[in-house]
Amino acid sequence: MLERLDQIEARYEELTQALASPEIVTDSAKYQKTAKAHSEIAPVVEKYREYKDLTRGIVESKVVLAEEKDPDMRAYAQEELDQLQSRVSAIEEELKALLLPKDPNDEKNIILEIRAGTGGDEATLFAAEIFRMYTRYAEMQRWKVEVLSTSESSAGGLKEVIAIIEGKRVYSQLKYESGVHRVQRVPATEQQGRIHTSAVTVAVLPEAEDVDIKIEAKDLRIDTFCSSGPGGQSVNTTYSAVRITHLPTNTVVSCQDEKSQIKNREKGMRVLRSRLYEIQMEKQQQALAKERKAMVGSGDRSEKIRTYNFPQNRLTDHRIGFTVHQLESVMDGKLQPLVDALITHYQAEKLKQESASVA
């Protein structure tokens, strides 16, 4: 590991010098590429330098212990040595995590798809609340949320909502949200105070770019129709809504939120491109595909990854055993503790796999 870290530090120094060279500074494309590479390895180098400072401190403390005769000085040196060794162990684990292979999608925007599952109208109401939760979280992160498509229920909830969330490292923060989210509470329509259980499915897809997916015009069938509201009634008389079918994969995307057919088509293509990218990634990584399919499932309550229990003010993520008794706060978008716990858990799993493969 240390040899690899030395190589990364040397590369960091090269990039630092390159950023100051006239050849790079005057070429915008080269400068951006170099700056990006520099920023990507900067956290590793900073942590490695902290590690080297600590190891030097350990050596110095050991020298003091070997040469010092005064009991008080020896006790002080031993205490300092214990602290340094404890800190070094923690830094080593952090470095191992930083050296793990990066998910190439972590920097991407996402396509967020939320659909009501088991539970009728109550499921559609909860789908709307889950969408609001992610919207509030995105606002706190200073991300941009753009709705691509919605289908409302007669109860005022959402049968389906598809949105794009744009910002810094969105996928890295929300990629573990895919799955069935179960809610337990007394619906507003319940007269006898009985607790009902409903579910919604959440899918988080990295947004694909033109360089990721090439779509041929001959492979598309594009239909136009009038936008519709709750219950299916037409809300305008122009054929602004768009349905795009990718013929080779039979992937269908509809978009009707804009009054302009052109804008609906552009949004629809963004969703289509991301879905096709997901299909491509699944073909390349069959094991991950099975895991993702199992996570999202059919929307049945029994397949849940997370439970939102309103009577007990409790949220539980069943994958990592994480529980918090601040459900109102979570529903208001304060998701960071849960997001951090998921990232930490799956990072630890990757470290175990890495260690096992090395062994």
* Confidence at residue 331, expressed as pLDDT on a 0 to 100 scale: 96
Q: Walk along the chain (359 residues) in steps of 10 and give the mean pLDDT of each run.
A: 86 90 87 87 90 91 86 87 89 83 85 92 94 97 92 91 93 94 85 86 85 80 75 56 89 83 86 86 61 50 83 94 94 95 88 65
Using a cut of 0.75, tell me whether the model's pTM lies above it. Answer: no
Q: DSSP 3-state helix, strand, coil percentages of the chain (rounded to 5)?
A: 55, 20, 25
How far is it, in rounded angstroms, from Cα 17 to Cα 10? 11
pLDDT confidence of residue 288? 44
Mention the CATH class of domain 2-98.
mainly alpha
Residue range(s) in the chain whose domain bears CATH number 3.30.70.1660: 110-348
Say what the pLDDT of residue 291 is: 46
HSE toward the beta carbon, residue 177, CA cutoff 13 A: 27
Which pLDDT value is given to residue 267?
86
Cα–Cα distances in Å, from 91 out to 70, 84, 96, 158? 31, 10, 9, 46
- What topology is assigned to 110-348 in CATH? Alpha-Beta Plaits (3.30.70)
Residue found by looking up tokens 């040397």 in the block:
10
pLDDT score, position 131: 97
Q: Work out the angle between the directed axes of helices 336-358 and 71-98 (0-180°, nearest 10).
A: 90
Token representation of residue 54: 């600590």
pLDDT of residue 289: 47
Cβ atoms of 261 and 240 within 8 Å: the answer is yes
CA 28 to chain centre: 30
Structure tokens at 152: 């409302």
Task: Decide if 264 contacts 248 (C-beta within 8 A).
Answer: no
Distance of CA 142 to the CA centre of its chain: 15
Q: In a 10 Å sphere around its CB, with 0-12 CB exposed, 13-18 middle and 19+ buried, how is residue 71 labelled?
A: exposed
Phi-psi region of 193 (alpha: psi -120 to 50; beta: other; left: phi over 0): left
Parts of the chain belonging to CATH 1.20.58: 2-98
